[in-house]
Structures are given as structure tokens and as C-alpha cells.
Amino acid sequence: MHNAILHFFDYINAIVLVYFLVTNVVYTVLMVFSLYSVTMHSKSAQHGAYADLLESPVTPPVALIVPAHNEEEAIVQTVMSLLEIQFPEKEVIVVDDGSTDGTVERLVNQFHLLRMDLIYRQVAPCKPVFAFYFNPERPDLIVISKENGGKADALNAGINLARSPYFCTVDADSIIEPQALLRLMAPVVESSVNTIVSGGVVRIANGCTLRNGRIVDVNLPKSWLERCQVVEYIRTFLFGRPGWNFLNATFICSGAFCLLHRETVLEAGGFSTDTVTEDIDIIATLHRFCKKNHRKYRMVFTTDPICWTEAPHSVGMLARQRRRWQLGLMQTVMKHNDMIFSPRYGLMGLLSMPFHAYVEAIGCTIEAFGTFIIPFTFLVGAMPFSLFIMLMFLAFGYGTLLSVGSVLLEETTLRRYPKVRDVFYLVLFAMIENIGYRQMVTMFRAQGVIQYFTGLKKWELVVHKGVEGRMLVEDEI
């Protein structure tokens, strides 16, 4: 019996070890690719003629679609920032997804909108639309009021009304940098192949100063939780995604700020409501649709277009957010599981999908399990010291290398944190977030996986303090 238990622990430890090895090897490879592509992009940006793009009549129009549900605190600031965005031709479509607060009233009062009965043709499926609000003197803004149906449903309503060939999804609590949309559009204009997705970087706005819908002073947030999230976002957006993009196997583009080709999305059936992360699902759906129909297409991820968003400020909210992301990831990989290891989908099917399914989606349970089982097996004498050290090193030590590396990449390319003190804290938190924070997030993710297997489908609401409330007003600057 004793031997059987020891053997069981051996197997478990071997699985955890293999998981850590695979994860770290893949991350290292991605790090190399990212380092190359981000550095090259940063150098190319020296000759990025965004002013030409702004003046060119050839630049395609874009519809900025903002799904909003009970966002009365932030919606006016967000819309103002979107209307200020530098772009030759844009339409801002706010989709009020059955809000029970004063989201619509705020917009109507601020922009002097009038209720109208406009033509609406439902191509992508969505819940019934109640009303349209429009101001003939401000023709670049439309508000749609509809029955609550979730973010994907709201996006579908938005793309049904949009007239531009491209649309950009924007979260209602996000602030977009003035040149960000131009930078997102640049690879689309420059590509000789139809670019159906162009994703950008999302940054954490906590601690920054906002004035008239723009971030005017970039600072690190004060709390350790938010600082750890800043490091995590930098690592994700500068290492993970550019790496997969380099391999032309993008699987995730943040829905907070992502440009998509309207016609292709409509042909693929629009956003799906059967997952809680419609942004991940649409990417997989588009890959599938284009490959099946032998379309030549491209998805790009650019590291300099910046969208600022508010991160959860408490452990409880962070837990909700991460559980939802993990649940959505699980739903997406399971929905598209026929793509896994399918050569028909190229590197997407052979590398990206398996990695996201087995390492990112399910793997977190192994990591979470390992966090408990490894110290336990070592303490009961079922694991040699050397193996224990090896696993600890893989779990903690190597992670710091990736995190500090991403801060280095940020510092050498984007340099969004001008203060030396902030950079020092970034490096410090890059080292310490691997001890404690990462394990905590892994637990939340594992809960998300459990939720999936227990059949939970609900959207866990993350309540923010609100962009206006968290940032200094003009007088305080």
C-alpha cells in the first residue's frame, strides 16, 4: 500500500514536472520571437507614417463599437475619448445592453441625442433592439438601446448597424490613446493580404491621471495587487501574444481593443453567445472560417496601440475576472477542439491550439494541484530534495526571468512608465509576483476550469471603482 502511494506521488510529480518544463520551454521560445518582433516593430515605428494614414482617403473607415451594461460612471469619458481619437472616418456606436442605471440618459444629456427610428437590418443574431439615439449635428455617434443579452449579443447589434468595412471593439471602461486606432489600422493598410484582425496592447490605468478622456500622466498604481497585474499585463502583451503572432498563430486578442473585418465576421456568423469570452471565441471562429473556405487572411498583433483599462482592485474582483477568463478559455478550446492537432489549420492547429488547450486552459489545474502536492510529498518524504528544488526553481525562479525580461522589453521599446521609481517597482514586482500572486491567480483559474466541468455558464460581474472615481481630476494635477 505504502509503495502504491509512493508510486502515485511519483506519477503526479512527473506530470507536474513535465507541465512546468513544457510551459517554460514554450514561454522561452515565445520570448525569443517576441523579443525579435517587438524590437523590430519598435524600430520600424520610427518611419511609421501615421500622419500620412490620417490624411489618406484610402484609409478605410472604422466603426468603434462599445458594448455598455450599467456603465454610467465611465461611459461619457469613454465616448469622449473615442470621439477625440485621430482617425479620418469613424463612427462610434454605443450599444446599451439593457442597462438598469442611467447609462443612456448620461449619453443623451451629454451629446444632446434624440430618439429616432432608424433602419436596422439584423444580419448577426442578437436580442431585440428598443431604440436608437442620434444627433444630426454629431453624425459620428449612435447609441443603440437593446434587451440585455451579454457582450457578444451587444457587439452583434453594433455590427448590424455599422456601415464601415472594419469595426473596433472597445470596452466601456477603457480609454484609447489618440493615435491607437491609426496604429492598429497601419498593418491592415500595409498588408497585401486581407487582414481580418488587428489587436493592440491593453494597459492598466489604475494610478494614472485622466483629463478630458485622455491619460495625461502614467503612474504605477499604489496597491501591490494592481502592481502585480501591471507586470502580468506587460508579460502577456509583450511576450505571449507577439510570440504567437510571429508564428501567425494568434489565438487571443483582447476584446477591450481589437479591430476586425466586418464582412468576414458576419460571414462567420458574428460573435457567439455560447462562451463568456467572445473575444477569444471570435478569433478561433475566424481561423476556422477562413481555413475552411480557403481564404487568404492575416491576423496581426501590434505592440504599440495602447488601450488603458481599469484592473480589479480587490482579490475578490480579481478572482471573479480570472475565473471568467478561464471559463471562457475552456469553453472556447472545447468548442473548437477539432482544430487541436489538425494540420488543416497550420501552426494554429498544430501548436497554438494544443498549447492553449493543454497548457493554458487545463494546465492551470496541474499547476494549482502541484502547488499543494509538491510541498506535501516532500514533507512526507515521498519526493527527493533535488526534485523538490528543481520544481521550486521551475515554479518560481524561471518565472522571474520571464517577468523581468518583459519589463526590460517594455523599457527598451515602449517606455510607457517615465519615472525611474516606477521602473524600479516594476522590476521588483516582476520578481516577487511569482511568489504568492501567481499561485493565487492559478487557484482562481483552476476554479474556472472546475466551473466549466460543473456546467456553470454565468458571467461573473467585475465591479470597478470607475475610471472617473479612481483618477485625479484636473484641479488636482
Partner 1 sequence: MLFIEDLASLVLWLLATVLSVNLLFLLFIFYRRLARKRYYEDKDSARSRYTRVVSEFVDNEISVDRAVALLQEASSRAEHDAVQEMLLAQEDANNAERISQVFFGLGYVDEWARQAFGRRRAKALLERSMKREKAAISTTVPRTLLTPVRRMRMFAVPRSVALEALGRLAPDYAQVFVAEALHDPASEVRRIAIAAMGRNRHPAAIPLLFDELLKAVEMNNDVSLRSTKSALVCYTMEDLFHFVPYMTHPNRRMRFFVVDTVREIANKAARHMLLNKNDFPQELYDAFLENAVRDEFADVRARAGAVIKHFRDKRAVQALRTLLSDENDFVRLHSVRACQDRYYAELVPDMIRRLSDTRWRVREAAVKALAAFGASGSNELYRYFVATKDQYVSEQITEEIQRSGLTADIVAALAHGGEDRDLAMAVAKKMVLMGKSSLLTSAAAGLTQPEPRILLMDALMLAPTEQFLAVLETIGQTDDGPVGDKARSLLQAAEQRALAAAGRT
Contact 270/151 with Cβ under 8 angstroms?
no
Tell me how far the alpha carbon of residue 339 is from its chain's centroid. Answer: 22
Out of 1, 3, 4, 47, name the contact with partner 1 by CB under 8 A: 47
Minimum CB distance to partner 1 smaller for 26 or for 423:
423
Tell me how far the alpha carbon of residue 407 is from its chain's centroid. Answer: 18
* Candidates 109-117, 143-151, 250-258, 263-271; binding stretch for partner 1 (CB under 8 A): 109-117
Separation between Cα atoms, residue 406 and residue 61, nearest integer Å: 34
Phi/psi for 92 (5° steps) reads -100, 120
- Give min distance, CB of 301 to partner 1, in A: 15
- Give min distance, CB of 437 to partner 1, in A: 17
Minimum CB distance to partner 1 smaller for 42 or for 223:
42
- Give min distance, CB of 292 to partner 1, in A: 22
Q: Which of residues 139-168 bind partner 1 (CB under 8 A)?
A: 139
With contacts defined by CB under 8 A, how many residues of the chain interact with partner 1?
50
β strands within 108-252, DSSP E:
114-116, 129-134, 141-146, 166-170, 175-176, 195-204, 209-211, 214-217
What is the CB-side half-sphere exposure of residue 229 using CA atoms within 13 A?
26
Strand-pairing partners, residue 214, are: 211
Minimum CB distance to partner 1 smaller for 134 or for 289:
134
β strands within 221-353, DSSP E:
257-261, 298-309
- Give min distance, CB of 56 to partner 1, in A: 5
Out of 190, 274, 468, 474, name the contact with partner 1 by CB under 8 A: 190
Minimum CB distance to partner 1 smaller for 35 or for 290:
35
Minimum CB distance to partner 1 smaller for 341 or for 393:
393
- Give min distance, CB of 384 to partner 1, in A: 5
Burial 361-400 (b: 16+ CB within 10 A, else e): bbbbbbbbbbbebbeebbeeebbeeebbeebeebbeebbb
Which x/- pattern, by CB under 8 A, does the window 284-323 give for partner 1?
A: ----------------------------------------
Out of 109, 110, 122, 191, name the contact with partner 1 by CB under 8 A: 191
* Candidates 55-63, 287-295, 439-447, 462-470; binding stretch for partner 1 (CB under 8 A): 55-63
Name the DSSP letter for residue 455: T
Minimum CB distance to partner 1 smaller for 250 or for 331:
250
Separation between Cα atoms, residue 265 and residue 123, nearest integer Å: 11
For residue 371, what is its C-alpha cell?
A: 502547488
Q: Tell me: does residue 49 bind partner 1 (CB under 8 A).
A: yes
Q: Which of residues 170-189 bind partner 1 (CB under 8 A)?
A: 189
Q: Which of residues 373-412 bind partner 1 (CB under 8 A)?
A: 384-387, 389-390, 393, 397-398, 400-401, 404-405, 407-408, 411-412
Separation between Cα atoms, residue 34 and residue 183, nearest integer Å: 18
- Give min distance, CB of 119 to partner 1, in A: 5
Q: Which of residues 58-97 bind partner 1 (CB under 8 A)?
A: 58-59
Contact 76/107 with Cβ under 8 angstroms?
yes
- Give min distance, CB of 206 to partner 1, in A: 22
CB atoms within 10 A of CB 62: 27
Q: Which amino acid is at 449?
A: V
* Candidates 32-40, 214-222, 347-355, 365-373; binding stretch for partner 1 (CB under 8 A): 32-40
- Give min distance, CB of 194 to partner 1, in A: 10
Contact 230/208 with Cβ under 8 angstroms?
no
Burial 84-98 (b: 16+ CB within 10 A, else e): ebbbbebbbbbbbbb
For residue 125, what is its C-alpha cell?
A: 443574431
- Give min distance, CB of 405 to partner 1, in A: 6
DSSP secondary structure letters along 91-130: EEEEEEES-SSSHHHHHHHHHT-EEE-------S--PPEE
Which x/- pattern, by CB under 8 A, does the window 110-139 give for partner 1?
A: ----xxxxxx-----------x--x-xx-x
* Candidates 52-60, 150-158, 203-211, 275-283; binding stretch for partner 1 (CB under 8 A): 52-60
Question: What does the binding site for partner 1 look like in residue numbers (CB under 8 A)?
Answer: 36-37, 40, 43-44, 46-47, 49, 52-53, 56-59, 114-119, 131, 134, 136-137, 139, 189-192, 384-387, 389-390, 393, 397-398, 400-401, 404-405, 407-408, 411-412, 420, 423, 427, 431
